[in-house]
Chains A and B, each alone.
Chain A
Amino acid sequence: GAVVSQHPSWVICKSGTSVKIECRSLDFQATTMFWYRQFPKQSLMLMATSNEGSKATYEQGVEKDKFLINHASLTLSTLTVTSAHPEDSSFYICSARDLTQYFGPGTRLTVL
């Protein structure tokens, strides 16, 4: 099956700093990528849909100025958490789509 990677797999940062998470489709081109957030013992919450070459579409309640998404190529999308605070600590998962969505391994963000 298709492979999606995420980097880093985990990150710890100080409150107020920005963190960038990369999502790559390794063996296929993805015009659409998705970013999810998952709280402990809960399901995935879709944050935004990222389309190559255009602005991301954010779900209701997700701050687009806080969670910056860039989809510069058909194999790479980035999520930047700006001015991170402890409440942003979470597990962030991306996915890339051809017909099926394939998920990355996730990035655990801890903001101190």
Chain B
Amino acid sequence: AQSVTQLDSQVPVFEEAPVELRCNYSSSVSVYLFWYVQYPNQGLQLLLKYLSGSTLVKGINGFEAEFNKSQTSFHLRKPSVHISDTAEYFCAVSDQRYSTLTFGKGTMLLVSP
């Protein structure tokens, strides 16, 4: 069984500041890791994914994440956020064999001017 923990339900930050959204996972097998963003009343948009290879993954909108196997983490970072980054962010893990996504509870990123 897999699980995903997003430690922060809300992260308030000022515009142009850096941000890190934390994600930890547990799994007994190798995993694929994903970050999705959801704007109000919309579906989920894939930000980035880790399947294999380099542990530093770059995604859209200037986001990046680093897979740390020893710490079972996949934290999402952006060096300078914009007001438009205000949204809900979901971390998800997938078992390679079954490909069902298990989601964290989400982190609301609130960017203020």
Contacts and interface: CB of A to CB of B under 8 A. Distances in A.
Contact of A99 (B36, B45, B51, B90): B51
A15 interface: no
Contact of B43 (A1, A6, A43): A6
Interface of B: 34, 36, 41-46, 49, 51, 90, 94, 99-101, 103-106
13 contacts: A6-B43, A34-B101, A43-B105, A44-B103, A46-B100, A93-B44, A100-B46, A100-B49, A101-B99, A101-B101, A103-B44, A105-B42, A106-B41
Interface string A41-71: 0111010010000000000000000000000
Nearest to A97: B99
A87 B112 CA distance: 35
B6 to A, nearest CB: 9
Q: How many interface residues does chain A have, given as a range?
A: 20 to 34
A104 B43 contact: yes
Interface of A: 1, 4, 6, 32, 34, 42-44, 46, 49, 91, 93, 95, 97, 99-106, 108
B100 A43 contact: no
Contact of A43 (B42, B46, B94, B104): B104
A32 B99 contact: yes
A46 B51 CA distance: 22
Contacts of A34: 100-101
Contact of B90 (A6, A43, A102): A43
A87 to B, nearest CB: 20
A60 to B, nearest CB: 13
B44 to A, nearest CB: 4
A102 B46 contact: yes
Contacts of A93: 43-44
B103 A100 contact: no
A108 B104 contact: no
Q: Which 5 A-B pairs have the closest CB atoms?
A: A103-B44, A105-B43, A103-B43, A106-B43, A43-B103
A110 B77 CA distance: 36
